[in-house]
Amino acid sequence: MSSIPSLSTRPPSSRPRRKVGPVKIISLLTLIVTTFLMLLPLFFMVMTSLKSKKEMLKFPPTFLPESWQWSNYTEIFDTLQFGTLYKNSLIIAVLSVIGTLISSALVAYGFARYKGKGNKIWFMLLLSTMMLPYPAIMIPQFILFSKMNWIDTFLPLIVPAFFGSAYNIFLLRQFFTTLPEEMFDAGRIDGCGELRMWRQIALPLSGPALATVAIFAFIYSWNDLLTPVLYLSSSDKFTLPVGMASLTSSRFRIPPWHLLMVASVLAMLPIVTLFAVAQKQFVEGIVLTGIK
Amino acid sequence: MKKNRKTFGTLFAASALLLTTLAGCSGGKSVEDVASPGSNSSSGGKGDKVTITYYTIDSEDRTFVEKLIPDFEKEHPNIKVKMEKAPYEQFDSKLQTLIAGNKSPDITSHYGYGGFAEYYNKGMLMDLTDLMQETGFKAEDYNIPEHLMDIYKVKDHTYGIPLNMYVTLMMYNKDMFDAAKLSYPPSDYEDKSWTFDKMVEDAKKMTVHSDDITKTQYGVDFTWSERDMRPLYFGADPYSADTWTNGGVPSETHFDSPEVIAAYHKFFDLIFKDKVSPNTEWSKSVAGQNGDPFVAGKIGMSVGGSWIMAGSNDFPFKVGVAAVPWGGNDKVRSPLFVDPLLILKDSKHPKEAMEFIKFLLTTEVQEKSIELSGGNPPVNTKAAETYYKHFEGVDPEDVKKVYEGAVKYGYESFNHLIVHYSQINDMFINELQPVETGHKTLEEVMGTIQKKVTEIIKR
Amino acid sequence: MYLFISPWIIGFLIFALYPILSSFYYSFTEYDIIHPPKFVGLANYTEMFHNDLFWKSVVVTVRYTFIGVPISMLLSLGFALLLNQTIPLKGFFRTAMYFPSMVSGVAMSLLWYWIFNPQIGLFNYILSWFGIQGPSWLMNPDTALYALIIMSFWGAGAGMILFLAGLQGVPSSLVEAAELDGAGRLRIFWHITLPMISPVLLFQLIMGLIDSFQVFTQAFVMTQGGPNYSTWFYVYNLYTSAFKEYRAGYSSALAWVLLIVVMLCTALIMKLSNRFVHYEGGVNK
């Protein structure tokens, strides 16, 4: 594979340092202001999660908690079966991510590399599956899964991911199309089959895109409320969003907002971790991939 | 390429075949129906275990029933009860999906946005009249007043059995009354001095207007039932009398009649003329989307369903309960919100479902439920005594008087009894909005509302 | 090729095609979910053209899309460009920008209710620094839709990530060569960066369109379509028809009209994009 021309795809950061000009200062300032705005929700969530139930009723609302209720963070485990919810959500999300990555990358490659006759039609069909709003297919989909005897199992939440998600296929296709043709030509000369080119050329070069898909797929599955509500009926199979929704479901009493915020903060931990790890991909993705 | 195409062809054919078989069985009975003829015969009581499903809202004040199931299963070893639940927002969509997918639950209530009339008119409910006879159900055995049983009767057939009863009452902020040196409002419905005008007078003394929203407070928040029902408080009836005998389909509505418009004027005067009530914007600013500004201690008197008492122990001020003042209607002063248990038409085990309903209505279970639910008002009058004592810091005698008065002058809320109610209510909220902000007059919108109500009901 | 897309074809046929075809069939029926569907021909389709709420929902949705999507895209691209430079704390900034997209559901709506609170909310507080008396946002029919559009900008972080990933594919050799030729920043952006990330741009545009035509959750959770129908979105209308009005047939017809309109828009964009979008690879077989 050495014959593949090594593209100078170093990240821009390794470019020769320029002087700190006005452009950079302005961008830094803009970033600080927007970051402040973007982080406000986090601040608000954490502060609310540490307030007492009584304090939540106060008007005007307090900015910082009057007394810091760290016990809220243990109380959530008594109020909801938080551990079970967390575990279920994790199982479903991780499997969905694996399924989405494999299948979407495979299908997207097919769509990106071959522009045959049927391609356009299939591609439009693919897009069309995203154009019907969920409420419109909810009932027929339920009928389908209930005939397969999948109700009250994780299957309806996981298996479809293994057959690709239209959004991610489209996304990866766009990325695969930007890969330079010469690399594949070189691969072909080396006698690589398509599957091998997929694995050894396309995938390694698409680090940032694959990381993006992983994050999107995780968040999608992690925060999904409608599907688990519809398909799960035993409470020991419930997921985090379902449990959190139960906190605000009573029409007759004041919801425990403070506990909801505790749950939201804890629910964000895996996403933040995943993101912090994956965002490195956006910096180093291409450099690290071994084109040897 | 050729080869590929061929494999694709077989693949496609196989998938298509699979698809048609899937589609093919959607019309007929589901697999279970065919496969389990034995389960029907078991409804006699002996033999196999029968599973019934109880569908409810996924919130603590509803799911506590799960804790009662073991007792029931001990008493009825051949019946297993399974609970199916959904968050409030998804309650109706999940119920409809379950029914469409042939997984209908056996027992539920109208906990979503659709009411009894909706379910009845769609033919979702089972006629319980014969079933009650067969299983020996008598309302008096469970201390359910006969007039409450009548609420869910249509043309002498019973379609629902009451479980909980919320009434409309007044809650007041004792601290605000004390600060204004006012005497507390009475809990006795027969007290003739307690009128709408007296309430407004008291409210004026507690109202403070200020540019600083944190200092503003209002005397009264009069959320008497839903918007369309309010004219009834002053004695104007917006729906024709045949509504209740006709399964919730009124033959006429009178939203543009002078009496109804005059009644609405009185309500809006609270906001615009007397300025003792907050507008929606202020309420939402203070209390958030679904919150109640009373809870924030900014309202002297709040008229609403008795669920506003839930959580009163946590309020940062002292509270009391009082009668809804007299407003000109001698018969009706308190809308009731009676939640029934319903058996769905597709239930395969109605008899067993009936057993569970009976269990939930016994005095013992109804009493237990008050504590477990955190204060759901029982329909069983014997258990009610326990309910009156449930609220810390509120005199049980007052709660009792208010409840008894409310039942005497009670009227089941329209939201359960009129067809397509959630649409009517949505429409009301949207169409009245410009009036609430002062952009339009009542005379301008009531004509449109009348027209739209008629359209919705006719559907 | 079919080897590659076959997993999707199987899944498509099973999981997607069946519900899609069912809803197509329902759209020609009167179906209240409780009783079996009854064929009524085109009645559902002709009805919507005489339905006030349908037209209201179309206007609301189109306005939301045409204002929201372009601004969102510009913001995402802007953030991505900012963060694609050598800047200290880059990882932190990236995570922070993406943060709002991680928060879900009820927590988010509670938060936004607080931010848009006309009296004590953050938004009007900031406006007051500039001497502007802010409107009542979500509670005012004239501003509620704009409040939701502003809210959607907080999701720009997701778009930013996509652009960042795209920017990584721009070979720095090209940029350096251009710099040697003395090209300015703007020229480099216009002639090199933009064409190189145009596939991502196209993706964002199409997905932005599809998504914003389907906006639902905000209206469902925060405004219930109000005040005075000002946030009565297309899919909110569709949901209400199905699950509040028990008219799954009519609701399916609404879904299909949406599908066809969005499909036409997408096809149009794709056609136009052939001129602008730059693809590297791809053999024409």
Averaged pLDDT, B405-422: 90
Q: Return the pLDDT at C42.
A: 94
Residues A56 and A196 in one domain: no
| Ranges A224-233, A237-246, B439-448, C116-125: which has the least confidence | C116-125
What is the distance in angstroms between the Cα of A202 and the nearest Cα belonging to chain C? Answer: 11
Q: Is the pLDDT of residue B436 over 80?
A: yes
Compute the Cα dihedral for B220, B225, B230, B235 and give only its sign: negative
Shared domain check, B135 and B71: yes
Question: What's the CATH code of the domain at A187?
Answer: 1.10.3720.10
Residue ranges of B 116-155 with Cβ closer than 8 A to chain C: 118, 122-124
Residue A243 lies in a domain: yes
Nearest partner of B333 among B218, B201, B222, B239, judged by Cα: B222
Q: How many domains does chain C have?
A: 1
CA atoms within 13 A on the CB side of B4: 11
B407 falls within a domain? no
Give tens-digit pLDDT for B110-160: 998 888 999 999 999 999 999 999 999 999 999 999 999 999 999 899 999
Chain A residues whose beta carbon lies within 8 Å of the beta carbon of residue B61: 250, 252-253
Residue A2 or residue B262, greater confidence: B262
CA distance, residue A181 to nearest chain C CA (Å): 4
Domain co-membership, B160 together with B181: no
Residue A135 lies in a domain: yes
Residues of C in contact with A125 (CB under 8 A): 12
pLDDT, mean of residues B180-198: 95
Mean pLDDT of chain C: 87
Rounded mean pLDDT of A140-162?
A: 93
Whether the predicted pLDDT of B24 surpasses 80: no
Q: Sorting pLDDT into bands at 50, 70 and 90, what band is C2? A: low
∠ CA B18-B23-B29, rounded to 5°: 120
With CB atoms and an 8 Å threshold, state whether B123 touches C34. Answer: yes
C residues 182..201 contacting A (CB < 8 A): 185, 196, 199-200
Interface of C with A in 208-267 (CB under 8 A): 210, 213-214, 216, 235, 238-239, 242-243, 248, 251-252, 254-256, 258-259, 262-263, 266-267
- Domain count for chain B, please give it: 2
| Same domain? B364 vs B448 | no
Q: A80 contacts in B (CB within 8 Å)?
A: none
Spell out which residues of chain A touch residue B30, defining contact as CB-CB under 8 Å.
Answer: 146-147
Asked if residue A284 belongs to a domain, the reply is yes
Please state which of the ranges A109-123, C201-215, C224-238 shows the lowest mean pLDDT.
Answer: A109-123
Please report whether residue C36 resides in a domain.
no
Axis crossing angle, helix B363-373 with helix B381-388, rounded to the nearest 10: 30
A141 CB neighbours in chain C (<8 A) are 15, 18-19
Whether B97 sits inside 8 A of A138 (CB atoms) is: yes
Residues of C in contact with A63 (CB under 8 A): none
Are A246 and B87 inside 8 Å of each other by CB?
yes
Summarised one tens digit per residue, pLDDT across range B292-334 is: 889 889 999 999 999 988 888 888 899 999 999 999 899 999 9
Residue A49: domain span: 24-68
Chain B within 8 Å of C198 (Cβ-Cβ)? Answer: no
Nearest chain C alpha carbon to B114 = C244
A34 and A146 share a domain? Answer: no
Contacts of B164 in chain A (CB under 8 A): none
Residue B32 pLDDT greater than 60, yes or no:
no
For residue C130, give the CATH number of its domain.
Answer: 1.10.3720.10
One domain for residues B112 and B16: yes
- Which residues from A are below 8 Å from C107, CB to CB? 45, 244, 260-261, 264
What pTM does this model have?
0.89
**Distance of residue C16 Cα from the nearest chain A Cα, in angstroms:** 7
Q: Is the pLDDT of residue C172 over 50?
A: yes
- For residue A256, being part of any structural domain is answered with yes
Question: For testing the chain A interface, which of C104, C198, C211 should be mutated: the one with the most A CBs within 10 Å?
Answer: C104
pLDDT tens digits along B347-383: 999 999 999 999 999 999 999 999 999 889 999 999 9
Whether the predicted pLDDT of B67 surpasses 80: yes
User: Domain range spanning residue C189?
Assistant: 42-274
Q: At A71, list the tokens.
A: 């016990």
Chain A residues touching B292 at Cβ < 8 A: 254
pLDDT at A20: 61
Task: Answer with the one of B401, B421, B450 that is the final residue of a domain.
Answer: B401
Which residue among C120, C225, C243 places its CB closest to the CB of B213?
C120
Which residue, of A8, A36, A68, is where some domain finishes? A68
Residues B76 and B135 in one domain: yes
Both B286 and B234 in one domain: the answer is yes
- What are the CA-CA distances from residue A33 to residues A29, A30, A38, A51, A60 (Å)? 6, 5, 9, 27, 26
The Cα of A1 is separated from the nearest Cα of chain C by a number of Å equal to 19
Q: Do A137 and C19 touch (CB under 8 A)?
A: yes
DSSP conformation letters of C142-204: TTHHHHHHHHHHTTHHHHHHHHHHHHTTS-HHHHHHHHHTT--HHHHIIIIIHHHHHHHHHHH
B44 and B126 assigned to the same domain: yes
B124 domain residue, yes or no: yes
Give the pLDDT confidence score for residue C112 in this predicted structure: 86
Contact across the interface for B103 and A151, Cβ inside 8 Å: yes
Predicted local distance difference test score (pLDDT) of residue C73: 95
Model confidence band, residue B105 (pLDDT cutoffs 50, 70, 90): very high
Among A229, A235, A253, the residue with its CB nearest the CB of B311 is: A253
CATH number, domain with residue B238: 3.40.190.10
Write down the pLDDT at residue C280. 56
Task: Compute the average pLDDT of residues B9-36.
Answer: 39
| Pair A47, A192 in one domain | no
* Residues in C 264-283 with any Cβ partner in A closer than 8 A: 266-267, 278-283
Residues B363 and B436 in one domain: no
Taking only residues 74 to 93 of chain B, the set having a beta carbon closer than 8 angstroms to any beta carbon of chain C reads: 89, 92-93
In this structure, are B158 and B180 located in the same domain? Answer: no
Q: Are residues B364 and B263 part of one domain?
A: no
Mean residue pLDDT across chain A: 83
Q: Which chain C residue shows the shortest CA-CA distance from A225?
A: C105
Interface test with A, best of B97, B163, B390 (most A CBs within 10 A): B97
Task: Kindly indicate the confidence band of residue C1, based on its pLDDT and cuts at 50, 70 and 90.
Answer: low
* pLDDT, mean of residues A140-166: 92
Residue C58 has pLDDT above 70, yes or no: yes
Q: Buried b vs exposed e over B332-353: b needs ≥16 C-beta within 10 Å?
A: bbbbbbbbbbbbbbebbbbbbb
- Does residue A102 sit in the same domain as residue A216? yes
CA distance A222 to A271: 9
* The pLDDT of residue B20 is above 50: no
Q: How far apart are CA C108 and CA A243, in angstroms?
A: 16
| Residue of A120, A280, A284, A103 lying closest to A198 (CA atoms) | A103
Residues B157 and B176 reside in one and the same domain: no
The pLDDT value recorded for residue B47 is 60
Residue B37: band (very low, low, confident or very high) from pLDDT cuts 50, 70, 90 = very low
Q: Do B101 and A142 touch (CB under 8 A)?
A: yes
| Size of the A and B interface in Cβ pairs below 8 Å | 108
- In angstroms, the separation between the Cα of residue A243 and the nearest Cα of chain B is 9
The token pair at C195 is 């064409």
Chains that touch C (3 or more CB pairs under 8 A): A, B
The verdict on a CB contact (< 8 Å) between A175 and C200 is yes
Query: Given CB atoms, is B2 within the 8 Å cutoff of chain C?
Result: no
pLDDT, chain B, mean = 87
C62-115 pLDDT, tens digit per residue, is 999 999 999 999 999 999 998 888 778 888 888 888 888 888 767 788 788 888
Residue A47 lies in a domain: yes
Q: Which helix (H) or strand (E) holds B221?
A: strand B218-222
Same domain for B186 and B331? yes
Whether the per-residue pLDDT at B441 is higher than 90: the answer is yes
Share of chain A above pLDDT 90, in %: 41
Q: Are residues A150 and A283 in the same domain?
A: yes
Same domain, yes or no: A54 and A109? no
Is the CB of C70 inside 8 Å of chain A's CB atoms? Answer: no
* The pLDDT of residue B42: 40
Q: Say if C34 is an interface residue toward chain A (CB within 8 Å).
A: no
Task: Tell me the DSSP string of B96-152.
Answer: HHHHHTT---SEE---SSS-HHHHHHTT-BPP-HHHHHHTT--GGGGT--HHHHHHT
Query: Residue C105 and residue A126: Cβ atoms within 8 Å?
Result: no
- C171 contacts in A (CB within 8 Å)? 7-9
DSSP 8-state secondary structure symbol assigned to residue C279: -
**Region B196-223: what's the mean pLDDT?**
93
Residue appearing with tokens 């009496």: B259
DSSP conformation letters of A61-129: PPSS-SS--TTHHHHHHHHS-HHHHHHHHHHHHHHHHHHHHHHHHHHHHHHHHB--HHHHHHHHHHHHH
In a domain, A10, yes or no: no
Question: Could you tell me if residue C170 is inside a domain?
Answer: yes
Q: Which residues pair with B334 in a beta bridge?
A: B410
Domain limits at B285?
168-335+413-458
| Residues A62, A84 share a domain | no
For residue B403, pLDDT beyond 80: yes
